């Protein structure tokens, strides 16, 4: 198999603290994406339902206000930090949105193809993406293949990245 289209795997050594750079252009596929700086409460908002204010329930209006205030306080403040798990078809590697990239979101479909381009900094096995490093090409995989690959779109398999 011609491996000229693959990213050099030695660049993604997670034990190396040396800053490295990769320069070029490669098409990669999204395996998962998550909002790493979102508090856990934000990742479960869909499961938390506040009672309807018009319903006759056990909650007082003060309880409703307390719940709404708690949910509002836990919302993400400051710049977002997207973590991506990508593949070049053979190897998987991590990337983070180092500078805001308008075309990226935590709602990108699994399997979408991205073009990595330019000079990308890599440290501790993680690519630090900037707007000039990425272009969305499109595409997707069937939901059966995405589920079979244990890929997630969202927060389930999210690992937190510590920047120093």
Beta bridge partners of 139: none
What secondary structure does DSSP assign to 78-114, as a single string? Answer: SS--EEEEEESSS-EEEEEESS--TT--TTPPTT-EE
Residue 162 lies in a domain: no
For residue 107, what are the domain limits? Answer: 21-38+77-138
Is the whole model's pTM more than 0.75, yes or no? Answer: no
- Which pLDDT tens digit goes with each residue over 23-59? 999 999 999 998 877 555 554 454 455 555 555 555 5
Domain count within the chain: 1
34 and 157 Cβ atoms separated by less than 8 Å: yes
Residue 146 lies in a domain: no
Rg (alpha carbons) of the chain, rounded to whole number: 19
For residue 160, the tally of other CB atoms under 10 A from its CB is 9
Residue 67 lies in a domain: no
Q: Which residues of the chain, if any, have pLDDT below 50?
A: 1-2, 43-44, 46-47, 145-157, 159-164
The backbone region for 24, taken as left when phi is positive above 0, alpha when psi lies in -120 to 50, beta otherwise, is left
Question: What's the CATH code of the domain at 108?
Answer: 2.40.50.770
Residue 29 lies in a domain: yes
């Amino acid at each position: 198999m011609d491996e000229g289209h693959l990213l050099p795997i030695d660049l993604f050594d997670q034990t190396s603290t040396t800053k490295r750079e990769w320069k070029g252009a490669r098409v990669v596929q999204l395996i998962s994406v998550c909002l790493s700086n979102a508090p856990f409460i934000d990742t479960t908002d869909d499961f938390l339902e506040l009672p309807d204010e018009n319903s006759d329930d056990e909650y007082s209006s003060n309880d409703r206000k307390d719940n709404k205030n708690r949910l509002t306080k836990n919302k993400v403040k400051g710049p977002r930090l997207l973590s991506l798990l990508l593949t070049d078809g053979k190897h998987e590697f991590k990337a983070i949105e180092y500078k805001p990239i308008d075309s990226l979101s935590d709602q990108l479909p699994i399997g979408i193809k991205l073009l990595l381009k330019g000079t990308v900094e890599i440290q501790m096995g993680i690519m630090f993406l900037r707007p000039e490093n990425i272009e969305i090409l499109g595409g997707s995989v069937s939901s059966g293949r995405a589920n079979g690959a244990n890929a997630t779109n969202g927060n389930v398999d999210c690992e937190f990245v510590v920047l120093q």
